[in-house]
Structure 1
Amino acid sequence: MNKQSISKLNLFLMGLENRFTENENIFEEISINFSSGLKTFKGIGTYNNNSIDFNYNGKTNTLNIKDLNILISKEAERFDGLKIIYKERGSNILIEASNQKVTMKNLEVKEVIKEETTNSHNKTSTLLNRDYYIKVGKADNLLKEIGIMSKDGKVKNDKVRKYNQIDHYVELLESVLHQLPQDEVINILDCGCGKSYLTFVLNYYLTEVKKRKCHFIGLDISEDVIHSSEKMAQNLGYRNMDFKAIDIKNYFPDKKIHVVISLHACDTATDMALALGIRVNSDLIIAVPCCHRELLSQYCYEPFKGILKYGLLKARMADVLTDGMRSMLLESYGYDVSVVEYISPLETPKNLMIRAIKTKDENEALRKDYLSLIKELNANPSLYNFLNNW
């Protein structure tokens, strides 16, 4: 290739170098095809701990991105042209160079639409009954890793409901995620992460669909589930995730936390996560509470004595009071709170999602109302105790 083309190629390679430095965690692969007449010579580069393992001419060398670009530029002098495909999670860049011209453009990651059906009670329902956020085709690797999709690329019949649930989860968060800072890496903390399926889904959506820079931290007291999550992240190539086997009460972040998530944390574990979110001044707190045992054994309210003698009604009232008082206390700390249905109540009565967005200063008057309410109910909520005794 002539000097003019190589000079322009070097400018594009500098752009790739800057991109790798900024987006290292989502880099996947770089492939280079050098051409001379009808002959082509291919090199493939894959990520290796801040560097790239580049296989070319039968040898694999570990190079930093700058040295790789020097190699590409020197090799280009020997050939008539080249084609580079630089792959990141959710986006590909194509550079083509010859003696006549040098061009660079973004390549769309193709979406493959697959219409699958599932039979239940002799009725057929089609997967394509909604515009999915987590799309079959683009998200196949993720869906296979979390067990929604079979190895041959079909959504499993017994996982259709789960697939719809995780997609609806993303839909509910979509309306609030845009309120997060646009020019920062979004740090997301998953409290009691378990196997982190929904966090992996959110990672995919933010990184590969919304093109947002993000970093995930999963906390769980079980070392086994942490090892399982680490393995899944490794399989998917999700390097923007860390997992820690630790009690939530013992975790102190070393960076700004933008989002705190708690999904199906049992009883007061939800309160622990909410308290952590408030303590670190998280911009957004998302909680899907599970069982509610604490308040049921505590509260009483004389005007409702004739109603609360029925055990089922007292339990349901305890659920409402627990999440209502959680929301009330969040509001007193300056959060704008909404309580929405996460999934259909036909699937589980524990179907609420609490979404809290930090929008204003603390509200002392509301805090006093909260304190009056717990006194009137003879309640001693863990969320209040965690916030004041942590």
Structure 2
Amino acid sequence: MNKQTCDKIKFMLWGLISRIKENRDFIKSINFKFKSGLKVYEGEYEAEESILNFNGRNVKLEVDEVPDFIAGEALNYESLEFILEERGRATILNADNKNVKTRQVDRVDEEMSDHVTSTSKILKREYYVKVGEANELLKEIGILTKDGKIKNDMIRKYNQIDHFVELIDSMIDEISDVDTINILDCACGKSYLTFVLNYYIKEKKKKNCYFIGIDRSKNVIDASRKMARNLGYRNMEFIEGDLNEYKPDRRIDIVISLHACDIATDMALGQAVRVNARAIMCVPCCHRELLSQYRFDELQPILKHGILRARFADLLTDGIRSLLLETQGYRVSVVEYISPLETPKNILIRAVKVADKNHKAIEEYKRLKETLNINPYLERYMNI
């Protein structure tokens, strides 16, 4: 290629280099190949190690030096194809003496197959995280077998996770004005949900994201770290620790919590309030705290039945949680997460920050607290 073409290559590669710097955590591979006649000469650049491999030799090369190297080598060949593959997309630069151009293509796993159609028929819904497209992820978290089929005992889990993605989708759009969406998963457990959201936000929504998972169990944290390494998800960290002691070192945009037991849910909601999270998605688990506290004499003829008293306590607990979030300026909605036929723990609390304080909600909460003789754990995180 002539010098004019090589100068254009260098200029356009500078644009890609800035993208590599900004999105280093999401880079999957950087490959290139030159052609002369029928011969092809391939190379790759390892951004993490700053090593460029070409023609059988490894060269230590900082990312800023790559454009000069490629443009210099291009003088010796007839054409160039340079491919920057990120999670969810690839940018391809093609060059010869006639033209130098770039294009972007969505990255879809080559494992797309009849499983997409058959799965849709079996599970009777349009999935946000689809078998075929997300096979690498779904295999890693145990939803799929090695040959890409959904495990029978994981259909329910797949449904639950995907429905959570459906419910959070519009919330992601509401806060998409930030360069990177930072998400904290409280009492993350095995982190299935976090991995799926990581995939969906980056590879389907094309939005940069960063995830922090925290849990007291060393075993689940170690397992989550291993899965992140296997998937190449470098935009994640997992912390073994106590939610009440944790202080994030970055802005938190969304706090999520799925089936954190009893007051662990309150700890997650309290953490969200403490870091002034812009949005919250929480699916509570068991409810024990208010069952032994609340008193409602007017309903005693009904609540004398233990099962009714327990169920009323469940509703009361999530209702109080929602009201306390409203006191802190959140717009709250409570929806059915999944069918109660699958699990009675099917309530999802969804909240978006819209104001500093809601004084009407504060007064409503104080009256209810006195009427019901309750002292909710969550209140300790609130300035009311």
Question: Which TM-score band applies after superposition, normalised by the shorter structure?
Answer: over 0.9
- Superposed, 1:156-235 pairs within 5 Å as 156-235=151-230
TM-score normalized by the length of structure 2: 0.95
After TM superposition, where is structure 1 displaced by more than 6 Å over at least 4 residues in a row? none
Per-residue deviation at 1:301?
0.6
Match of 1:149 in 2: 144
The answer as to whether partners of 1:127 and 1:160 remain within 8 angstroms in 2 is no
Identity of aligned residues (%): 51
Could you tell me how far apart the structure 2 residues matched to 1:139 and 1:116 are? 10
Which residue of 245, 252, 263 corresponds with 1:250? 245
Helix, strand or coil at the partner of 2:83: strand
Helix, strand or coil at the partner of 1:29: strand
Match of 2:233 in 1: 238
Which residue of 252, 259, 272 corresponds with 2:254? 259
1:344 matches 2:331: no
AA matched with 1:37? G
Which residue of 293, 315, 325 corresponds with 1:320? 315
Helix, strand or coil at the partner of 1:167: helix
Helix, strand or coil at the partner of 1:264: strand
AA matched with 1:368? E
AA matched with 2:339? S
Match of 1:121 in 2: none
Helix, strand or coil at the partner of 2:168: helix
- The superposition leaves residues 238-267 of structure 1 with CA deviations (integer Å, 9 ceiling, x where unpaired) of 111111111011111222111111111000
Could you tell me how far apart the structure 1 residues matched to 2:64 and 2:157 are? 44
- The superposition leaves residues 261-304 of structure 1 with CA deviations (integer Å, 9 ceiling, x where unpaired) of 11110000100111111111110011100000111111111001
Helix, strand or coil at the partner of 1:20: helix
Helix, strand or coil at the partner of 2:174: coil
- The superposition leaves residues 1-34 of structure 1 with CA deviations (integer Å, 9 ceiling, x where unpaired) of 1011111111210011110011111011011111
- Superposed, 1:32-51 pairs within 5 Å as 32-48=32-48, 51=49
- The superposition leaves residues 158-193 of structure 1 with CA deviations (integer Å, 9 ceiling, x where unpaired) of 222222221111001112211104233111111111
Aligned length: 382
Per-residue deviation at 1:116?
6.4
Match of 1:369 in 2: 364
AA matched with 1:92? A
Could you tell me how far apart the structure 1 residues matched to 2:167 and 2:113 are? 23
Which residue of 50, 73, 76 corresponds with 1:75? 73
Structure 1, 150-159 or 193-202: larger mean CA deviation:
150-159
The answer as to whether partners of 1:28 and 1:46 remain within 8 angstroms in 2 is no
AA matched with 2:291? L
Which residue of 82, 90, 112 corresponds with 1:92? 90
1:18 matches 2:21: no
Per-residue deviation at 1:365?
2.6
Per-residue deviation at 1:157?
2.5
Structure 1, 176-185 or 237-246: larger mean CA deviation:
176-185
The answer as to whether partners of 2:115 and 2:131 remain within 8 angstroms in 1 is no
Helix, strand or coil at the partner of 2:269: helix
AA matched with 1:71? F
Match of 2:31 in 1: 31
Could you tell me how far apart the structure 2 residues matched to 1:125 and 1:184 are? 34
For structure 1, the 5+ residue unaligned runs are: 119-123
AA matched with 1:216? F
Change (3 A) 1:163 1:220: same
Helix, strand or coil at the partner of 1:100: coil
- The superposition leaves residues 341-381 of structure 1 with CA deviations (integer Å, 9 ceiling, x where unpaired) of 11110011010110000012311232122122122111111
Per-residue deviation at 1:125?
8.1
Per-residue deviation at 1:44?
2.1
Could you tell me how far apart the structure 1 residues matched to 2:216 and 2:38 are? 59
RMSD: 1.8
TM-score normalized by the length of structure 1: 0.94
AA matched with 1:291? C
Match of 1:9 in 2: 9
Per-residue deviation at 1:388?
5.9
- The superposition leaves residues 67-86 of structure 1 with CA deviations (integer Å, 9 ceiling, x where unpaired) of 22222111111111111111
- The superposition leaves residues 295-333 of structure 1 with CA deviations (integer Å, 9 ceiling, x where unpaired) of 111111100111111000000000000000000111111
AA matched with 1:79? Y
AA matched with 2:331? D
The answer as to whether partners of 1:278 and 1:333 remain within 8 angstroms in 2 is yes
- Superposed, 1:270-349 pairs within 5 Å as 270-349=265-344
Could you tell me how far apart the structure 1 residues matched to 2:317 and 2:380 are? 14
Per-residue deviation at 1:215?
0.8
Could you tell me how far apart the structure 1 residues matched to 2:214 and 2:354 are? 26
AA matched with 1:33? K
Could you tell me how far apart the structure 2 residues matched to 1:110 and 1:276 are? 36
